[in-house]
């Protein structure tokens, strides 16, 4: 059975422990990369990462996008959403079908 983890600043991820998700505080790129590699080796199937931290390791996350497991999913931090997750969904949908079907352009 796969496990679930969340990586990010302590203030943003602490609450996840109350619902049984393993938390891994990280503030710097190298620290986050090491944690992701460790989690992959320890059978984690889903890794949530705060948007702010994901910006520091975008290239690393892209490598994992080609793998089925672990799934790395960006989530907002405690300061609110930067819309990174929504923009990725939009980008992938547009790539798949050739047009933007997720969001209507505002006029």
Q: Where are the chain's structural domains?
A: 3-78
> What local confidence, expressed as pLDDT, does residue 2 receive?
92
Q: Which CATH architecture has domain 3-78?
A: 3-Layer(aba) Sandwich (3.40)
Q: What is the pLDDT of residues 5-61, one digit of tens each?
A: 999 999 999 999 999 999 999 999 999 999 999 999 999 999 999 999 999 999 998
The continuous run of DSSP H or E covering 33 comes out as helix 29-41
Quote the pTM value: 0.77
Report in angstroms the alpha-carbon separations of 65 from 33, 37, 98, 103. 14, 14, 20, 22
């Amino acid at each position: 059975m796969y496990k679930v983890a969340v990586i990010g600043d302590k203030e943003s991820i602490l609450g996840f422990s109350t619902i049984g998700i393993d938390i891994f505080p990280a503030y710097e790129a190298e620290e986050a990369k090491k944690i992701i590699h460790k989690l992959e080796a320890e059978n984690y199937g889903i890794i949530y990462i705060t948007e702010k931290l994901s910006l520091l390791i975008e290239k690393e996350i892209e490598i994992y996008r080609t793998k089925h497991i672990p799934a790395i999913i960006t989530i907002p931090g405690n300061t609110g959403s930067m819309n990174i997750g929504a923009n990725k969904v939009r980008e992938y949908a547009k790539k798949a079908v050739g047009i933007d079907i997720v969001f209507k352009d505002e006029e």
